[in-house]
């Protein structure tokens, strides 16, 4: 009997991928933080926050009795960005022990509010992003998914080995309005996987309406097998402060598990 080694190898690759995926899915995907406490939850790390950048508030809130206000000031946590520009930031990020692996399907949701005095500027400004971990400092690339507000436009970008792609743009004044965001993400960068598993996915809902439906690569093949979500302000250097309010963070397994119920 002739043995078809190519088919055996192919089946082993598929089986191996399924085993790895199943193990990854064994992680506790569900996270929640309603920011009710004055002490920040242990699901977050504050490495990218300077003193006085984070404040617990009781009004306004999206739900419950608490929210967080994050402020960025000139020269906060400065770094040189990938385009050579001086950047500054004030962010909370998922702590290392709750981070997910590349390829794991997850849903993220959060609400944000820009106060009435929020400056509308042309400067690059990111208000939420999903990053892929990296080893070498020179590989600190742009986030695989980013939510931005620039020039009075809400924008959504993805980043992968082929470069950046803008998926959504909307001219809208978001000040003094709660905005509910939901992200459905399957982060996959490699094209060497079996055909059925090669595509990543990003779907986005804003205030219950789907605004993005993207299938394709997300992230980078030569970066780490770990991702983490960030909330906060990341921008090119400016001489004015900014603040933003976040409430009701969720990470889960489906839309119903993370989305806010309509009243």
Instruction: Kindly state whether residue 164 falls inside one of the protein's structural domains.
Output: yes
Instruction: Kindly state whether residue 239 falls inside one of the protein's structural domains.
Output: yes
pLDDT for the residue 134: 82
Instruction: Kindly state whether residue 8 falls inside one of the protein's structural domains.
Output: no
CATH number reported for the structural domain that contains residue 73 in this entry: 2.60.120.200
Q: How far apart are CA 207 and CA 181, in angstroms?
A: 6
pLDDT for the residue 5: 47
Nearest to residue 26, comparing CAs of 101, 133, 96? Answer: 101
Cα distances from 233 to residues 56, 200, 216, 230, 259, in angstroms, run 16, 26, 27, 9, 23
pLDDT for the residue 262: 65
pLDDT tens digits, one per residue of 148-157 = 999 999 999 9
Number of independent structural domains in the chain: 1
Provide the b/e sequence for 26-52 (b: ≥16 CB within 10 Å): eeebebebbbeeeebbebbbeebbbee
pLDDT for the residue 222: 82
pLDDT tens string, the chain, 263 residues long: the values are: 454 545 544 444 433 443 344 334 445 899 999 999 999 999 999 988 988 999 999 999 999 999 999 999 998 887 776 666 788 999 999 999 999 999 999 999 999 999 999 999 988 899 999 999 987 665 667 889 999 999 999 999 999 888 899 999 999 999 999 999 999 999 998 655 455 546 899 999 999 999 999 999 998 888 889 999 999 999 999 899 999 999 999 999 999 999 987 65
Q: Could you tell me which residues come within 8 angstroms of residue 237 by beta carbon, excluding any fewer than 6 positions away?
A: 74, 75, 78, 85, 86, 87, 88
Instruction: Kindly state whether residue 16 falls inside one of the protein's structural domains.
Output: no
pLDDT for the residue 192: 52
Q: How far apart are CA 126 and CA 148, in angstroms?
A: 4
Instruction: Kindly state whether residue 149 falls inside one of the protein's structural domains.
Output: yes
Domain that includes residue 171, residue range: 29-258
pLDDT for the residue 190: 62
Cα distances from 253 to residues 42, 108, 193, 223, in angstroms, run 21, 9, 23, 25
Instruction: Kindly state whether residue 18 falls inside one of the protein's structural domains.
Output: no
pLDDT for the residue 77: 83
pLDDT for the residue 80: 73
pLDDT tens digits, one per residue of 173-213 = 999 999 999 999 999 986 554 555 468 999 999 999 999 99
pLDDT for the residue 199: 80
Strand partners, 235: 88, 125
Instruction: Kindly state whether residue 10 falls inside one of the protein's structural domains.
Output: no
pLDDT for the residue 187: 93
Instruction: Kindly state whether residue 220 falls inside one of the protein's structural domains.
Output: yes
Q: What DSSP character marks residue 56? A: E
């Amino acid at each position: 009997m002739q043995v078809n080694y190519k088919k055996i190898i192919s089946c082993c690759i598929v089986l191996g991928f399924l085993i790895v995926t199943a193990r990854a899915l064994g992680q506790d995907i569900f996270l929640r933080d309603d920011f009710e406490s004055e002490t920040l939850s242990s699901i977050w790390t504050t490495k990218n926050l300077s003193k006085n950048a984070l404040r617990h508030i009781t009004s306004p809130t999206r739900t419950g009795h608490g929210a967080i206000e994050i402020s960025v000031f000139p020269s906060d946590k400065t770094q040189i960005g990938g385009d050579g520009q001086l950047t500054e930031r004030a962010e909370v990020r998922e702590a290392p022990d709750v981070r997910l692996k590349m390829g794991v399907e997850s849903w993220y949701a959060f609400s944000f509010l820009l106060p009435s005095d929020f400056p509308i500027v042309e400067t690059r400004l990111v208000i939420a992003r999903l990053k892929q971990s990296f080893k070498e400092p020179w590989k600190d690339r742009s986030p695989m998914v980013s939510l931005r507000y620039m020039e009075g436009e809400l924008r959504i970008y993805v980043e992968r080995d082929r470069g950046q792609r803008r998926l959504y743009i909307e001219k809208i004044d978001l000040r003094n309005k709660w905005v509910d965001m939901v992200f459905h993400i399957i982060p996959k960068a490699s094209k060497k996987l079996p055909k059925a598993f090669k595509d990543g996915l990003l779907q986005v809902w804003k205030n219950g309406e789907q605004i993005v439906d993207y299938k394709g690569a997300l992230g980078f093949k030569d970066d780490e097998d770990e991702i983490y979500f960030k909330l906060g302000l990341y921008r090119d250097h400016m001489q004015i402060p900014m603040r933003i309010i976040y409430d009701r963070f969720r990470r889960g397994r489906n839309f119903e598990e993370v989305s806010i119920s309509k009243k």
